Chains A and B, each alone.
Chain A
């Protein structure tokens, strides 16, 4: 096999295995919560089996050994349906194994050989399995003493908490659609019990099952905490019921044609769902995006061609409008191809919350809203780190231990809400907690200590006070814990979000809770820009930063103590930045009244930019400055204008922070 084939196999192994591991994690987490791991055993088995197979092909022995031992557990559980399984321990084992394999795959990705020894985990897994098998032996010995048709007292004593029953239901003659009625029975039954299996299995898809039910009845095996009498009452309320037989189930119960009932709490579409989807390499999508960008530029070069100035070309402009419409649609479609729902990233947070719960000994519930909101693939990759930080912060700083919460009159279990929604051209993500909230006073004090106050205390808005927490090294925690206190988290969050072209804000009410809001533009590649002229140069200001623009009157211009120019804007002082001074270029206008003022805002600070003239608004394709030119203060990129010239794109936060 030549090099090329080798590489593709390699990449596919990594991609597939990572996907499978994340499915494994998800199922484990969801099932543990819904207490229904045993219903998903089949899936878990299949996933681990596939991982083992691929790893075996690539000769990664430690992964093979680990998956094999997990396989053994799932196989035993699938075939024997043990009752006394500690699902919490099992989930722990699954998650730890998933972590191990993930780590090894990451090693492989970096070109190293996976070398870590899995025998520690393997031993634990084997012990776990042995324990189950042992328990089973004991239980089957006990249940042999119990008469097959159980009455109440015995039913309650056999397995603490959960009772296992089998029911056969017969419907009235001539009621028709017995298979649908059987489905209704299942639906109803789910409210009270966990369905283990039922026969016939294909009641929805296969009409003929109605016949089977007419003659043999509809069999269901389930486990519930209710007693037999309760179940009798429930079943007797079945619509069109003719008769039913309810008895205590033993393991060697029903046979042939069974379906494992899949649970309703399953949100994601597993590999069994057939969708017409196709996987495309991200490189191709990137290339497509680039081409679309070039088309946007080409289009403006055609439409804004200087040779057309002054000509009467109504038919031409009609045609070019059509072209523009088509291009816009093309652009939208290509961008939507790269959009990926946030749900995968959000689901990862489940794991973090679970780990934090255990480590901090707190009860925390994670609520996820709007997971279907989509974001560009590039952005998703850079979101999970900041989100992890924020969730950790909320769990560590925010949510109080249960006793404290009860004292305050809050529910014992803290709640963290992760919400996403689309608004205009942006995606908003909120991380809300109902914990301690932030103390404005201590933040102000710390800020004073660090000399961060640029204005007198009483003039700072709430937003400005809270935004101090994004300062590097800022933390009002006295001790450093494993998760926070070093003051590194929020700073990293804000830098990462800025890199995505977004902004972070914090709102908090002391004692009630905190909300961190993240706003990210849907795409970085093409933005709406305001074109301004300064002397001979042309600059682009992203529309999202602009609040307004106007020609200023002499009367509104002042100077402060240091001689800096200030403009009064509806009662607020707004410092002036002269474009030509900031960038050291020539400009035509000298007096502020001759040119144009553009008011821009970033992170709560407002500034007036002074330029010669407004040229217009247009869509520009953002290109990075060539790598050879390192970072320039106040410039975030460049673009090619309609006339073929390169314009610089202004980095508004950078300009404001420098002045």
Chain B
């Protein structure tokens, strides 16, 4: 019985403090590994009308239909052409599956709690809303994303859609 407890604690520990990092242009972002279910290469996307422009459409993931979000557009950056390095990070946030289209995926890093600091208050650009914290690593910083905000922060889009 005690062994089982040890095992479960271990698996939890192995996920804690681990982040998947990816690149958009030259900026490095990170998301907690616990949200990530898989990483796939970019595949043909079926467009769906009337969606915000950062939701590119839907794809077929082994029979499950999931929406995909272009993170560059979400952060109001310039869109980039998809190439063979472009990846889709499939995340599961409280039961909602969604694919995040990113320029490329880097690695899985361990960032300990003491290396994490809260984000700066003032920063231009809307991407600030989605940054949960900043993680300090050897060769720089990683902007840690708040996955929930990424999915749910739809205020302006919601209003404009209901007005239609």
Contact = CB atoms under 8 A, between A and B. Distances in A.
Interface of A: 294, 297, 537, 582-585, 623, 625-629, 632-635, 638, 640, 644-648
Given A645-B46, A646-B65, A629 B58 contact: yes
Given A646-B58, A646-B60, A626 B46 contact: no
A632 B63 contact: no
A170 to B, nearest CB: 75
Contacts of B97: 626
B60 A626 contact: no
B145 interface: no
B47 A537 contact: yes
Interface stretch (B12-20, B49-57, B78-86, B129-137): B49-57
B30 to A, nearest CB: 23
B143 interface: no
Contacts of B65: 623, 625-626, 638, 640, 646
A294 B47 contact: no
Contact of B67 (A585, A626, A645): A626
A629 B46 contact: no
Given A627-B96, A640-B60, A644-B60, A632 B55 contact: no
Contacts of B60: 640, 644-646
Nearest to B158: A630
A625 B58 contact: yes
A295 to B, nearest CB: 11
Interface in B20-75: 44, 46-51, 55, 58-60, 63, 65-67
B58 A584 contact: no
What are the nearest 3 A-B pairs in CB distance? A646-B46, A583-B49, A640-B60
Nearest to A632: B50
Nearest to A293: B63
A584 B50 CA distance: 8
Contacts of A646: 46, 58-60, 65
Interface centre among A294, A625, A646, A647 (most CB of B within 10 A): A646
Interface string B88-103: 0000000011100000
B47 A628 contact: no
Interface in B83-125: 96-98
Nearest to A633: B50
Contacts of A626: 58, 65-67, 97-98
Nearest to A631: B50
A91 B46 CA distance: 60
Contact of A294 (B46, B55, B63): B63
Given A638-B65, A640-B60, A646-B59, 10 more contacts: A584-B49, A625-B65, A626-B65, A626-B97, A628-B67, A632-B51, A638-B58, A644-B60, A648-B46, A648-B48
Task: Please report whether the interface of chain B is mostly helix, strand, loop or mixed according to DSSP.
Answer: strand
Interface residues of B, number: 19
Contacts, number: 56
Nearest to B164: A633
A540 B71 CA distance: 29
Contacts of B59: 646
A645 B66 CA distance: 12
A632 B65 CA distance: 15
A629 B125 CA distance: 25
Contacts of A585: 47, 49
Given A626-B97, A646-B58, A297 B63 contact: yes
Given A645-B60, A646-B60, A628 B98 contact: yes
B79 to A, nearest CB: 17
B28 to A, nearest CB: 26
A382 B131 CA distance: 45
Contacts of A634: 49
Nearest to B52: A629
Interface centre among A537, A628, A640 (most CB of B within 10 A): A628
Contact of A632 (B44, B49, B98, B151): B49
22 contacts: A294-B63, A297-B63, A582-B49, A583-B49, A625-B58, A626-B66, A626-B67, A626-B98, A628-B67, A632-B50, A632-B51, A634-B49, A635-B48, A635-B49, A638-B58, A640-B63, A645-B44, A645-B46, A646-B58, A647-B46, A648-B46, A648-B48
A308 B130 CA distance: 47
A582 B50 CA distance: 10
A628 B96 contact: yes
A139 to B, nearest CB: 68
A633 B50 CA distance: 8
B1 to A, nearest CB: 17
B57 to A, nearest CB: 8
Nearest to A294: B63
Given A294-B63, A623-B65, A640-B60, A629 B49 contact: no
A655 to B, nearest CB: 11
Contacts of A647: 46
A632 B48 contact: yes
Nearest to A634: B49
Nearest to A639: B65
A632 B49 CA distance: 7
B51 A629 contact: yes
B63 A628 contact: no
A629 B51 CA distance: 8
A629 B63 contact: no
